[in-house]
Structure 1
C-alpha cells in the first residue's frame, strides 16, 4: 500500500484509492447487513477476522482462489490476510482441514465436491471422527480429462471405453495388473473414471485396479508405466499430450455435459464463528470466478496460475483447454469447444443440491456410503446455498446467474442414463455395474 512520500496533498492516485476503499467498505457493509437481518452487528466495521487460510491443489479449477489472492479481491472485502496454501494431495487437504488453521492447518479449500460430505460424515477421517463442513460455492463445471497410455492408442477409446474392455482383459489374463488412477476415493475423479469404465462393461472393482495418485504426479507415473489410464483435472491431461506419453480419451464434459466439479468448502465452525468473514471470502471468490470466466482474461490467468509459487507449469500446458481448444493427442483436435472450464455464467457458481445428491448416490453405488443414508438431512447441513444467494445479491450478480431452485432437474449422461434427483433409486436401478444390489 502506498503513501504520500512527503507530498503535501493527495494526488489523483490517492483520491482514486480512497474512492476504491469507500466502495469496498460499502460492499462489505452491504454484506454484513445481508448476513445479519434486523441490524445485528450493524455497527461492526468489517469481518470478525482479516485472516483465512485456504488450501488448493495444482489444478486449473483452483484459479478463482489464486486470482482472488493475486488480484487483491480478498483485500477488497476486508480479508487482507488471506493465505492460499498449496497442498500436496487431497489426503493432505483433508488432514489440514481436520487440523484447522489454529493448529497449523487450513480453514477451507478448493476441494472435490463430495469430500466435504465424506468429512462431515467421518467416512474418510482418522478414527471416523466427523469434521463438519460447509459447501459455499461451486468453483467450476467440467474440463477434467480421462487419459489413456499410448499402449492403447490405436484402439479408438473415447467417451465410449468399450474398445478397452478386451485389451484390459487380455493384459490381466497375461498376469499384469491394469491400473486406472484417480485422485481420491469417492471424489469427482474417482466417480468419473468409474462411470466411464462401467458404461463400457468394465467393472472398476473387479476388472482393473483403481489407484490413488496426486494430480501433479499423474504424468510422471504414466511416463514410467505405473498406470494404464487416469482421470484428473487440467493442466495434467494436456501436459501428457504435449509430452507424448498418452492421449485424452475424452473430457469429462463428454460424459456429462456441464457437470459440477470442484467446490469452495470450509470448516463449519470457522464459518459459524466468522459469518461476516465467511461472507467476505465467498464474495471475493465469486468475483474472481466472474473474472476467470471472461475469455479476454484466459491468457493472463494461464500466466498467473502457471507461476512457480502456484502450479510451476508452463502456461502453454494451461491455456488451450481453458479456451476450449483441445488436442486429444490421437489426431483429434477441436477449437473453441463448449467443453472448456466454466466458472460463472448461467449459475455455475451456485451449489445445486441436486448435484450433490448425485455424488452421494454414486458413492452409494460403489459401497462408499450406506444405502440408508439420509441424503436430504446431510445435504441440508453441508450445502449453504443460502449464503451463496446472499453473496450473489451483495455483489450484484445478474439474474441470469442466480438459479431459481435448488435443483437443476434431470441430468442425462452420454450413455443415455438419466439421473432424476426426485428418484435417485430409479437411477441406481438402471445401472448394470455397481456394488449395491
Structure 2
C-alpha cells in the first residue's frame, strides 16, 4: 500500500459512457481500497474541465487523449504542464448524421438504404446542392484537440471531402442531440451515449465508429498537473492503481451491465440505460428500428492480463502528436520541440501496476 500524501481528491469527469472507469472506481470502492477519498465532479464542457485542472480547482481529470499535449503547448488556453500516467479507454466515438440529411442522401442515390459503415463521399451530392445555394452542411465535434476532430477529418479525407466543404462547430457532448433536433447540425462526431440517444430519438443515423477509423487509438486518459504529481507521488500511484483496477473490472461483460445501470444515475449521465448499454456491449445502434451493428471493440477499457493496453506508451503520444501536426494544430517547430515522454508518463504507470 502507498503512503498517501493527500487523501481527499476532487476528480473531474464528463458525463459520457467512457467515464465508466472513474464511476466504477468510486461506486465499487476501488478508490477507498487504495486509501483515497475521492469526490467526483461532473463538468459541462471539456474547456471548463481543462481550466479547472490548470487552476487547481480539481486535482485530477478524465481528459481527451490529445488534451495534455495541447495544454503543454498552450493551445486554446494557458500553457500548463499536464501529464497523463494512464490510458482510461480506447475507441468509443461515432459519426452520426441527421435523419433528415440521411433521407436526402437516399433520394440523391435513389436507394432505400445506405450500407454501414458509410463513406463520407455519400455527402458529395448534397454538398454540391448546397453550394449552389451558397450554403454548407454543418458538423460538430466536442473540442478542437480531440480524437473526435481527427476521426472526422480522417473520415472526410477518405471520402475525398475537404474540411472547407463543411461548416465545423465545437459543441459540448450533451448539446449534440438537441442541436441536431433543432436543425442546427447535420452531423457530429461524439462519444457515447449521445450517438445512441440520437438514434433512439429518431433524429440521427450513426454510420461510422472510431473503430472504423482510428482503431484502438487512445480516447480518454487520466490528466494531472505535473507539479501536483511531484508533490503527491504516492497519491498519484494509488490513483492510477485504483483506476487501472476499474478498467480491468470493466472487461468482464456481465460487469458492463452493472456499469450501464450505475452510469444512468442522475449524478452521472442522467440518461436511460437503453442508450448507455449498447456501446458497452459491442453494439452500435445505426438507424431507429433496425438491427444494430456489431462493433466488438466499440468501448474498450482494458485487455485482461495485458498491461500494455492502459500504458500511456510513448508511441501512442507520438501518433496523436503526428495527427495534430497533420491537421495543422501544431507547427513543425512545435512538433520537433515536443517531449512526449514528459507528458505520457509510462514510468509512473509501470511503477503503479508493479506494486
Match of 2:353 in 1: 392
Aligned counterparts, 1:91-106, within 5 A: 91-100=47-56, 105-106=57-58
Whole-Å separation in 2 of the counterparts to 1:47 and 1:124: 34
Match of 1:227 in 2: 185
Match of 1:109 among 44, 61, 76: 61
Match of 1:134 in 2: 83
For the pair 1:363 / 2:327, whether they are aligned, the reply is no
* 1:294 Cα deviation from its structure 2 partner: 1.0
Q: Which runs of 4+ in 1 moved over 3 A?
A: 330-337, 374-377
For the pair 1:349 / 2:319, whether they are aligned, the reply is no
Whole-Å separation in 1 of the counterparts to 2:298 and 2:338: 33
Match of 2:14 in 1: 57
Match of 2:332, SS state, is coil
Unaligned residue ranges in structure 2 (runs of 5+): 106-113
* 1:340 Cα deviation from its structure 2 partner: 2.6
Match of 2:120 in 1: 161
Match of 1:367, SS state, is coil
Match of 1:278 in 2: 236
Whole-Å separation in 2 of the counterparts to 1:290 and 1:73: 12
* 1:336 Cα deviation from its structure 2 partner: 5.1
Match of 2:138 in 1: 179
For the pair 1:378 / 2:339, whether they are aligned, the reply is yes
Cα 1:336–1:368 change in 2 (3 A) is: closer
Match of 2:224 among 266, 289, 306: 266
Question: What is the root-mean-square deviation of aligned Cα atoms in Å?
Answer: 1.7
For the pair 1:216 / 2:177, whether they are aligned, the reply is no
Q: TM-score, normalised by structure 2?
A: 0.92
Match of 2:210 among 244, 252, 255: 252
Match of 1:33 in 2: none
The question of whether the paired residues in 2 share the 8 Å contact of 1:248 and 1:328 is answered with yes
Q: Larger Cα Rg: Structure 1 or Structure 2?
A: 1
Match of 1:333, SS state, is coil
* 1:52 Cα deviation from its structure 2 partner: 1.5
Whole-Å separation in 2 of the counterparts to 1:59 and 1:360: 24
**Structure with more relative contact order (C-alpha pairs < 8 Å, separation 6 or more):** 2
Match of 2:40, SS state, is strand
Whole-Å separation in 2 of the counterparts to 1:370 and 1:169: 32
Aligned counterparts, 1:120-131, within 5 A: 120-125=72-77, 129-131=78-80
The question of whether the paired residues in 1 share the 8 Å contact of 2:286 and 2:293 is answered with no
* 1:334 Cα deviation from its structure 2 partner: 4.3
The question of whether the paired residues in 2 share the 8 Å contact of 1:251 and 1:339 is answered with no
Match of 1:348, SS state, is coil
For the pair 1:321 / 2:291, whether they are aligned, the reply is no
Whole-Å separation in 2 of the counterparts to 1:289 and 1:280: 14
Whole-Å separation in 2 of the counterparts to 1:175 and 1:224: 21
- Between Structure 1 and Structure 2, the one with more strand by share is 2
* 1:331 Cα deviation from its structure 2 partner: 7.0
The question of whether the paired residues in 2 share the 8 Å contact of 1:107 and 1:266 is answered with yes
Match of 2:31 among 62, 70, 74: 74
For the pair 1:201 / 2:153, whether they are aligned, the reply is no
The question of whether the paired residues in 2 share the 8 Å contact of 1:325 and 1:333 is answered with no
* 1:302 Cα deviation from its structure 2 partner: 0.5
* 1:166 Cα deviation from its structure 2 partner: 2.5
Match of 2:95, SS state, is strand
Whole-Å separation in 1 of the counterparts to 2:45 and 2:225: 18
Match of 2:110 in 1: none
Tell me the matched-pair count: 342
**Deviation sequence 1:113-148 (CA, Å, 0-9, x none):** 1111111111221xxx41101111111111210000
Cα 1:375–1:301 change in 2 (3 A) is: farther
